[in-house]
Chains A and B, each alone.
Chain A
Amino acid sequence: MLWYKGWLETRYRILFFLLCAVWGLGSVASTPYAANRARPALLAFVAGIPGLIALCYPLILTVLAGSGIKTESDLQPRKGLHGSSYFTLSLPVSRFRLLATRAGLGMLEAAGVLAIAPCYIWTFFSALRMHLTGSDLFAYWVTLSICASAFYSLGVFLSTFLDDIWQYLTSVLGVVFFWWLLSRPFLPTSVNIFRAMGESSPLFTHTFPWASMGISLGTAAILFLAALKVVQTREY
Chain B
Amino acid sequence: MADPVIETQELHKSFKGNEALSGLNLNVPAGSIFGFLGRNGAGKTTTIKLLMGFLKPDGGNARVFGLAATDAAASVEIRRRVGFVSEEKDLYPYMTVEQIIRFTQSFFPKWRDDLDRRYLKLFDLPESRKISDLSKGMRSKLMLLLAISHGAELLILDEPAEGLDPVAVEDALRELVALAAAEGTTIFFSSHHLEEVEQIADHVCIIDHGAAIVTGSLDDLKAQYQRLRIVLGEDLRAPIHWVDGADQVRQEGRTVDILASRNVDAIVNQARSLPGASVERFPVTLKEIFLEHARRN
Question: A residues within 8 Å of B by Cβ?
Answer: 1, 4-5, 8-9, 72, 81-84, 86-87, 89-95, 232, 235-236
Instruction: Report the nearest B residue to A12, measured CB to CB.
Output: B94
Contact status A93-B91, CB under 8 Å: no
Instruction: Report the nearest B residue to A97, measured CB to CB.
Output: B76
Contact status A91-B79, CB under 8 Å: yes
- Cβ–Cβ < 8 Å partners of B291 in chain A: none
Contact status B79-A92, CB under 8 Å: yes
Instruction: Report the nearest A residue to B81, measured CB to CB.
Output: A92
Contact status B72-A93, CB under 8 Å: no
Q: B91 touches which one: A87, A92, A232 (CB < 8 A)?
A: A87
Contact status B54-A235, CB under 8 Å: yes
Instruction: Report the nearest A residue to B77, measured CB to CB.
Output: A92
- Cβ–Cβ < 8 Å partners of A8 in chain B: 92, 94-95, 99
Q: Whole-angstrom distance from the CB of A201 to the nearest CB of chain B?
A: 37
Q: A90-B52, A94-B76, A236-B54 are in contact. Are A1 and B103 (CB under 8 A)?
A: yes
Contact status B88-A86, CB under 8 Å: yes
Instruction: Report the nearest B residue to A95, measured CB to CB.
Output: B72
Q: B136 interface residue, CB < 8 Å from A?
A: no
- Cβ–Cβ < 8 Å partners of A94 in chain B: 72-73, 76
Contact status A90-B86, CB under 8 Å: yes
Q: B84 interface residue, CB < 8 Å from A?
A: yes
Contact status B90-A81, CB under 8 Å: yes
- Cβ–Cβ < 8 Å partners of A81 in chain B: 88, 90
For the complex of A and B, list the 3 residue pairs with the smallest distance between their C-beta atoms, beginning with the closest: A92-B80, A86-B86, A1-B106
Q: Whole-angstrom distance from the CB of A223 to the nearest CB of chain B?
A: 21
Distance A93 CA – B79 CA, assembled complex (angstroms):
8
Q: A93 touches which one: B76, B94, B102 (CB < 8 A)?
A: B76
Q: B56 interface residue, CB < 8 Å from A?
A: yes
Q: Whole-angstrom distance from the CB of B270 to the nearest CB of chain A?
A: 51
Distance A1 CA – B82 CA, assembled complex (angstroms):
19
Distance A4 CA – B94 CA, assembled complex (angstroms):
12
Distance A95 CA – B53 CA, assembled complex (angstroms):
11
Q: B55 interface residue, CB < 8 Å from A?
A: yes
Q: B107 interface residue, CB < 8 Å from A?
A: yes
Instruction: Report the nearest A residue to B86, measured CB to CB.
Output: A86
Instruction: Report the nearest B residue to A90, measured CB to CB.
Output: B84
Q: B94 touches which one: A9, A95, A236 (CB < 8 A)?
A: A9
Contact status B72-A232, CB under 8 Å: yes
Q: Whole-angstrom distance from the CB of A9 to the nearest CB of chain B?
A: 7
Instruction: Report the nearest A residue to B48, measured CB to CB.
Output: A86
Contact status A92-B72, CB under 8 Å: no
Distance A92 CA – B102 CA, assembled complex (angstroms):
15
